[in-house]
Amino acid sequence: MSRIREVLGEDPEIVLAERRYDWISKVLPKVMRGARPITLSDLLDKALLDKYLGIPIFLALWWALFRFTFDVSAPFSDLIDMFFSRLGEAVEPALGGGVLSSLIADGLLGGLGSVLVFIPPIFFLFFGLSILEDSGYLARAAFVVDKILYKLGLHGRSFIPMLLGFGCNIPGVMACRTIDREEDRLLTIIVNPLMSCSARLPVYVLISSAVLGGYAVAGIYSMYIMGIGLAIAMALLFRRVIPYFRGRRSAFIMELPLYTVPTLRSTILHMWERGFLFLKKAGTVIFIGVLVVWALSSFPWGAGLEESYIGVLGRALEPLFRPLGFDWRGAVALFFGFIAKEIVVGTFGVIFGAGGEASEEEIADVIRSENIFTPLTGYAFMAFTLIYIPCVATVGVIYRETNSWKWTLFTVLYELLLAYFTAFLIVSVGHLLGFS
Amino acid sequence: MFQPRGGRFRVFRFGEAIPLAMLPEGCRATVAALMGGRGLVRRLSEMGFTPGVEVVLLKSGSPGPVLVGVRGSRVALGRGVAMRVLVYPRGG
Amino acid sequence: MVLAIRVALIGNPNVGKSLIFNNLTGGKAHVGNWPGKTVERKEGRCVYEGVEMEIIDLPGVYSLTANSIDELIARDYIVEEKPDVVVDIVDASNLERNLYLTLQLIELEANLVVALNKMDIARDMGYEIDVKALSEILGLPVVPTVATTKQGMDELKKAIIKAAQQRGRRRIRRISYGKDLEAIISTIEGILKKDRVLSSRYPTRWLAIKVLEGDEEVLRRIDRSPVKAELMEVLG
């Protein structure tokens, strides 16, 4: 291209960009009047992007988002919870105890109910995220956060996929395609599952309300923080240790759109799009998973829980998890959590759903009364759920996005190890501090 | 490292160009040259950063990304990127 | 008489494309994946005045270079699938940058209709846009819209149908990028035209421009072309 460069005086690529914009500049005055004024957006940005205020504002908004999600969705969740357990109670005698009635009451209704209970928080979370995104704030957040992320081995563009990961890891991983440098993209994909997706939320809520008492909310919030912390730590670690990631970072160039007041219609549209994606994935997988869990726990028919197939499976896995303080029931729940995280709760629901009731309240009671988890081991269980392998669907998406068995397997393995290590650490430190 | 590209003014006034990252807040400037690999130069120029265009520094980074007004919109540039855009300052 | 057409929506990020898609398709979209890729692909249907439109939502992009997967997908769809109409959604409050993509679409010789969205915001900002003048200068139909209130949707549908009917018959406004550059583009075009296969598949002007830009994808396609040697000779 050297001859061309000589003739034009610069790189033809740049010349083309210049000439296009030249043409636009000449044309613009003929079609448009009015200079760009100082807009409300500019003023808002003065505050929101301020060197010192930017980050606190960001953290505050984020906290508000989570509070909104949990508080507003709670009454709806309770309603659904009640509905399904009442339904289960009504159905069972009507069908006269037996395989079919158990299938419907315990299997379908019990398991499904304890999972559907969490649709309100998921949709409300996406609602909040959509508002933040449509208003234009999310781009500012990426801007504010880039400073920090850069030092930590990621960058501003990684921010939005990570944030989406809080809703569901699948759109989170898919959103990584906006990161143009391959190494950065890969790194963000690999640590994305550490963003606590909304499917894990049911597990936190269940365990923390069961054994953490007054610290329940703090416990849940700490999971999210832990996820972020670990994602950052892993990103830093991988950048330093794995040669593939040592290269130069992708450039941060991002247009900041004007602030707009999001319309209800567009917010609901976005919320629905993302929420529906999650539902579709969850719906089919959970349904099958719950049935499988029910089947494995009900057969051989008539045998007690511990003699059922699920019990056998649990017993086999138990030694692995004993150092962490999880018994066979926790082990089994985690095992099925691989299919979909929602199933962890569903599994508990089915396991404890003896008698048709499987409401969250009752599961929590059983956990407490049978000492399945202590506050310490419960917390470790939550951490394990946070970190260990993403659900099947996510693994599938990771494979398709990276096109590499190597990296997909790597992700699964490092997360498993990290989960075990972290849970172990929590339990060990807890023991040292005198907790049981 | 990289040769400056798009340096139409290079012969005459190149010595007075400074990186965009070093402009004070509120300062206007004209883009002189883009230093970087093909991908970066492409993305910068399609965003509107072409030699000769006027920009204004809306928010400075130091450290951190800068916010630049260009062609009627606002674009955030990471610090590394902002160091690669050379401009002629033209006062606030 | 056109009865069924394929329409692609394209535009910068944040221009209101998904809202317009929703307005046109009434919220019933089929979400899948682009073949072989994991980028989300949204398709929907719209029927207006007896014409059935299959609407596909292309990723939001700033340009059509080979920079990212999004851009490649958008570009490949237009180049390979050759939709009947491409609707370029332009943000009226950010006209200067948005027209950059429009120019690239014109280079690609897509059958364009421009939807000038966010007219309300532009107005609030004090901008006055002469839609007719813009349309004349671009040589394209320009439909002002306000997606949030669904203003302009009918006019847009009408414009799309009309564009589909006039496909191939519309005069393409030649936009000059400067005498020196145009001379070079012409020269390269001349060489490329000698490759019948290549020049029948892609617009030669677009190819020439992409060669100058060092576009990896285009260069790869030319790599196997008989005119490659001559091209390299000229470029130096």
Which helix (H) or strand (E) segment holds residue C52: the answer is strand C51-57
User: Stretch A92-103: mean pLDDT, rounded?
Assistant: 70
My answer on whether C159 and C211 are in the same domain is no
Q: What is the pLDDT of residues A199-243, one digit of tens each?
A: 788 788 888 888 887 787 888 888 888 888 888 888 888 887 887
Q: Scan residues 197-226 of C and list those with Cβ closer than 8 Å to A.
A: 209, 212-214
Chain C's closest residue to A37, CA to CA, is: C125
My answer on whether A12 and A143 are in the same domain is no
- B36 min Cα distance to partner chain A (Å): 10
* Number of domains composing chain A: 2
Q: Determine if the pTM surpasses 0.80.
A: no
Interface of C with B (CB under 8 A): 62-63, 65, 67, 94-97, 100, 213-214
- C133 min Cα distance to partner chain A (Å): 6
Contacts B39 to A, Cβ<8 Å: 180, 251
* pLDDT at position A353 over 70: no
User: Taking CB atoms and an 8 Å limit, are A260 and C27 in contact across chains?
Assistant: no
User: Taking CB atoms and an 8 Å limit, are C100 and B46 in contact across chains?
Assistant: yes
- In a domain, residue C60? The reply is yes
Give me the domains of chain B, ranges plus CATH numbers.
4-89 (2.30.30.90)
Contacts B42 to C, Cβ<8 Å: 65, 67, 213
Contacts B48 to C, Cβ<8 Å: 96-97, 100
Among B35, B38, B45, the strongest candidate for a mutation testing the A interface, having the largest count of A CBs within 10 A, is B45
Tell me whether A6 touches chain B (CB under 8 Å).
Answer: no
For chain A, what is the mean pLDDT? Answer: 77
User: How far is the C-alpha of B24 from the C-alpha of A340, rounded, in Å?
Assistant: 52
The pLDDT assigned to A357 comes to: 46
Contact between residue A192 and residue A165 where contact means Cβ atoms under 8 Å apart: yes
- In a domain, residue C65? The reply is yes
Helical ranges in chain C per DSSP H: 17-25, 69-76, 95-107, 119-124, 131-138, 153-165, 179-193, 196-201, 204-212, 216-223, 228-235
- In a domain, residue A228? The reply is yes
Return the higher-pLDDT residue of A102 and A428: A428
Contact between residue A177 and residue C70 where contact means Cβ atoms under 8 Å apart: yes
My answer on whether A253 and A324 are in the same domain is yes
Tell me which residue range forms the domain holding A161.
Answer: 55-432
User: How far is the C-alpha of C230 from the C-alpha of C224, rounded, in Å?
Assistant: 13
My answer on whether C183 and C108 are in the same domain is no
My answer on whether A17 and A136 are in the same domain is no
My answer on whether A126 and A24 are in the same domain is no
Least confident of A23-27, A50-54, A83-87: A50-54
- In a domain, residue A351? The reply is yes
β-strands C142-144, C112-117 pairing: parallel
User: Taking CB atoms and an 8 Å limit, are B73 and C67 in contact across chains?
Assistant: no
My answer on whether A150 and A26 are in the same domain is no
- A402 min Cα distance to partner chain B (Å): 21
* pLDDT at position A421 over 80: yes
CATH code where residue C24 lies: 3.40.50.300
Residue A194: which of A429, A423, A412, A428 has the closest Cα?
Answer: A412
Q: How confident is the model at residue B1 (pLDDT cuts 50, 70, 90)?
A: very low
* pLDDT at position B67 over 60: yes
Q: Which amino acid is at A362?
A: E
My answer on whether C219 and C143 are in the same domain is no
β-strands C112-117, C85-91 pairing: parallel
The pLDDT assigned to B3 comes to: 45
Contacts B76 to A, Cβ<8 Å: 139, 142-143, 146, 156, 252-256
My answer on whether C138 and C195 are in the same domain is no
Q: How confident is the model at residue A107 (pLDDT cuts 50, 70, 90)?
A: low
Q: What is the pLDDT of residues A155-189, one digit of tens each?
A: 667 777 787 777 777 777 777 766 666 677 788 88
User: Taking CB atoms and an 8 Å limit, are B75 and A253 in contact across chains?
Assistant: yes
Tell me whether C186 touches chain A (CB under 8 Å).
Answer: no
- In a domain, residue A40? The reply is no
* Number of domains composing chain C: 2
Among B5, B12, B49, B59, the strongest candidate for a mutation testing the A interface, having the largest count of A CBs within 10 A, is B59
Contact between residue A31 and residue C140 where contact means Cβ atoms under 8 Å apart: no
* pLDDT at position A23 over 90: yes
My answer on whether A197 and A327 are in the same domain is yes
User: Taking CB atoms and an 8 Å limit, are C68 and A177 in contact across chains?
Assistant: yes
Tell me which residue range forms the domain holding C184.
Answer: 179-235
My answer on whether C82 and C191 are in the same domain is no
- Residue finishing a domain among C165, C198, C222: C165
- In a domain, residue C53? The reply is yes
User: How far is the C-alpha of C99 from the C-alpha of A25, rounded, in Å?
Assistant: 10
Helix A328-337 crosses helix A342-352 at what angle (to 10 degrees)? 140
The pLDDT assigned to A312 comes to: 78
Chain C's closest residue to B49, CA to CA, is: C97
Return the higher-pLDDT residue of A293 and A312: A312
The pLDDT assigned to A197 comes to: 78
Tokens read off for A20: 């296009």
My answer on whether C203 and C103 are in the same domain is no
Return the higher-pLDDT residue of A402 and C159: C159
My answer on whether A24 and A135 are in the same domain is no
Q: How confident is the model at residue C152 (pLDDT cuts 50, 70, 90)?
A: very high
User: Taking CB atoms and an 8 Å limit, are B48 and C100 in contact across chains?
Assistant: yes
Tokens read off for A420: 């075990």
Cα A172–Cα A177–Cα A181 angle in degrees, nearest 5:
125
Distances from the Cα of A359 to the Cα of A102, A346, A366, angstroms: 15, 10, 11
Tell me whether A306 touches chain B (CB under 8 Å).
Answer: no
User: How far is the C-alpha of A364 from the C-alpha of A384, rounded, in Å?
Assistant: 19
Cα C161–Cα C165–Cα C171 angle in degrees, nearest 5:
115
Give the neighbor-by-neighbor strand order of the sheet with C4-11: C29-33, C40-48, C51-57, C4-11, C85-91, C112-117, C142-144
User: Taking CB atoms and an 8 Å limit, are B46 and C214 in contact across chains?
Assistant: no
For chain C, what is the mean pLDDT? Answer: 88
My answer on whether C84 and C184 are in the same domain is no
- In a domain, residue C95? The reply is yes
Tell me whether C36 touches chain A (CB under 8 Å).
Answer: no
- In a domain, residue C148? The reply is yes
* pLDDT at position B65 over 90: no
My answer on whether A387 and A304 are in the same domain is yes
Q: How confident is the model at residue B91 (pLDDT cuts 50, 70, 90)?
A: low
User: Taking CB atoms and an 8 Å limit, are C38 and A273 in contact across chains?
Assistant: no
The pLDDT assigned to A284 comes to: 63
* pLDDT at position B12 over 60: no
User: Stretch A325-353: mean pLDDT, rounded?
Assistant: 73
- In a domain, residue A50? The reply is no
For chain B, what is the mean pLDDT? Answer: 80
Chain A's closest residue to C26, CA to CA, is: A269
Among A13, A43, A45, A252, the strongest candidate for a mutation testing the B interface, having the largest count of B CBs within 10 A, is A252
Residue C160: which of C41, C46, C58 has the closest Cα?
Answer: C46
Chains that touch C (3 or more CB pairs under 8 A): A, B
* pLDDT at position A419 over 60: yes
The pLDDT assigned to B11 comes to: 40
Instruction: Taking the CA atoms of A140, C95, C79 and C108 in sequence, report the sign of the dihedral they define.
Output: negative
Contacts C95 to B, Cβ<8 Å: 72
Residue A111 has, within 13 A of its CA and on its CB side, a CA count of: 30
Cα A263–Cα A264–Cα A265 angle in degrees, nearest 5:
90
My answer on whether A158 and A245 are in the same domain is yes
My answer on whether C36 and C125 are in the same domain is yes
Tell me whether A47 touches chain B (CB under 8 Å).
Answer: no
Tell me whether C121 touches chain A (CB under 8 Å).
Answer: yes
The pLDDT assigned to A111 comes to: 62
Contact between residue B87 and residue A259 where contact means Cβ atoms under 8 Å apart: no
User: How far is the C-alpha of C22 from the C-alpha of A271, rounded, in Å?
Assistant: 13
- How high is the ipTM of this complex? 0.93
Tokens read off for C117: 């969205």
- In a domain, residue C174? The reply is no
For chain B, the distance separating the N- and C-terminal CA atoms, rounded to the nearest angstrom, is: 31
Tokens read off for C87: 């609707």
My answer on whether C196 and C123 are in the same domain is no
Chains that touch A (3 or more CB pairs under 8 A): B, C
Q: How confident is the model at residue C59 (pLDDT cuts 50, 70, 90)?
A: confident
My answer on whether A127 and A6 are in the same domain is no
User: How far is the C-alpha of C58 from the C-alpha of B86, rounded, in Å?
Assistant: 34
My answer on whether A76 and A7 are in the same domain is no
- In a domain, residue A325? The reply is yes
Q: Scan residues 7-36 of B and list those with Cβ closer than 8 Å to A.
A: 7-8, 34, 36
User: Taking CB atoms and an 8 Å limit, are A21 and B53 in contact across chains?
Assistant: yes
My answer on whether A7 and A127 are in the same domain is no
My answer on whether C212 and C98 are in the same domain is no
CB contacts < 8 A, A to B, total 101
- In a domain, residue C173? The reply is no
Among B44, B46, B50, B75, the strongest candidate for a mutation testing the C interface, having the largest count of C CBs within 10 A, is B46
Return the higher-pLDDT residue of A285 and C150: C150
My answer on whether C120 and C8 are in the same domain is yes
User: Stretch A14-36: mean pLDDT, rounded?
Assistant: 88
My answer on whether C152 and C231 are in the same domain is no
Return the higher-pLDDT residue of C185 and A80: C185
CB contacts < 8 A, A to C, total 122
User: Taking CB atoms and an 8 Å limit, are A13 and B42 in contact across chains?
Assistant: yes
- In a domain, residue C170? The reply is no
User: How far is the C-alpha of A335 from the C-alpha of A344, rounded, in Å?
Assistant: 8
Chain A's closest residue to C214, CA to CA, is: A13
The pLDDT assigned to B8 comes to: 42
The pLDDT assigned to A277 comes to: 67
Question: Quick one: CA torsion of C26, C27, C28, C34, rounded to 10 degrees?
Answer: 120
